[in-house]
C-alpha cells in the first residue's frame, strides 16, 4: 500500500564520493528512511523523505572502508532537492579544489530548503563559500583546520550540531544521526523524531553538547 504522504515527500540528496565516510551518509540515510508520520502504520506507509544518493557520475563509488555504492543520480540529473546533505571522510580533501563538486554544491544549495553537512563535509561547504559569516562545526580533529582555511567562519567547538537557520553542520561521523533526528523534528515534529529514534534503538539527543571533550581555545 502506498503512503498517503508520498506526494508530500521531501527529496533528500546525499552526496557521495570516493573515500566518503560510511556512517556519515548511512547514519542520516537510516534516520530519514526510518521516519514515519504514523508509527502504528509503519509497514503500510512510506517515509516522508525520499532519498537519493548523488555522485559526480553514475559509476559505483568506493567508500572509506571499501563498501561499493551505486548512486541514484549524477550531477547532470535535473531532479530538484529539498534537502542537500554533504558527508565527510578522507575523500573530502581531494574535493576541496574540485570545481565540478563545489559548483554543484553551490547550485543545489541555492535551490534547497535545507543544507546540511556531517563531519568534514563542512569543509566542502566552506570551500564553496557557503559558511562565511556563519557558525559551523566539524570533526574535532579538523576544527583547527577549519579555522585556518576559512577565517570568516565562526567555528563552534562545544556543540554537536550547529543550526544556522536553513544551514546545519554537525560534528564527527555519528553526529550525523543526531543532526538527522533534529531535522526530522523540524520537518515532521518532535514526536515523529522521537519515535524514529526509538525504532532505531538510538538515544534521542536530549542536549546538544559535543560528546567528545576537547580543549576550548
Catalytic site residues? 119
C-alpha cell at 130: 557557503
Q: How far apart are CA 44 and CA 5, in angstroms?
A: 12
CA pair distance 88, 90, nearest whole angstrom: 7
Determine the Cα–Cα distance for residues 102 and 56; give it in Å rounded to an integer. Answer: 11
Of 204, 118, 211, 95, the residue nearest 168 (C-alpha): 118
Q: Could you list the beta-strand ranges (E) of the chain.
A: 10-15, 49-55, 61-62, 68-69, 73-74, 83-86, 114-117, 135-136, 154-155, 161-164, 167-170
Give the contacts of 76 (CB within 8 A, at least 6 positions apart).
none
Cα dihedral 47/49/50/55 (nearest 10): -130
Sort 2 into a burial class: Cβ within 10 Å, 0-12 / 13-18 / 19+.
exposed
Amino acid at each position: 500500500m502506498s503512503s498517503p504522504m508520498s506526494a508530500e515527500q521531501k527529496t533528500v540528496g546525499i552526496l557521495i564520493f570516493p573515500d566518503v565516510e560510511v556512517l556519515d551518509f548511512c547514519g542520516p540515510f537510516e534516520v530519514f528512511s526510518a521516519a514515519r508520520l504514523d508509527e502504528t502504520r509503519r509497514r503500510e506507509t512510506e517515509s516522508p523523505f525520499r532519498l537519493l544518493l548523488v555522485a559526480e557520475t553514475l559509476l559505483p563509488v568506493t567508500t572509506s572502508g571499501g563498501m561499493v555504492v551505486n548512486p541514484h543520480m549524477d550531477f547532470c540529473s535535473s531532479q530538484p532537492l529539498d534537502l542537500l546533505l554533504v558527508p565527510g571522510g578522507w575523500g573530502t580533501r581531494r574535493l576541496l579544489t574540485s570545481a565540478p563538486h563545489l559548483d554543484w554544491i553551490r547550485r543545489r544549495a541555492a535551490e534547497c530548503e535545507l543544507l546540511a553537512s556531517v563531519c568534514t563535509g563542512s569543509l566542502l561547504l566552506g570551500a564553496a563559500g557557503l559558511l562565511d559569516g556563519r557558525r559551523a562545526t566539524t570533526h574535532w580533529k579538523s576544527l583547527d583546520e577549519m579555522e585556518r582555511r576559512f577565517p570568516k567562519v565562526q567555528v563552534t567547538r562545544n556543540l554537536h550540531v550547529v543550526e544556522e537557520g536553513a544551514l546545519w553542520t554537525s560534528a564527527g561521523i555519528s553526529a550525523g544521526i543526531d543532526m538527522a533526528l533534529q531535522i526530522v523534528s523540524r520537518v515532521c515534529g518532535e514526536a515523529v523524531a522521537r519515535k524514529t529514534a526509538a525504532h532505531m534503538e538510538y538515544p534521542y539527543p536530549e542536549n546538544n553538547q559535543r560528546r567528545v571533550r576537547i580543549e576550548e581555545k
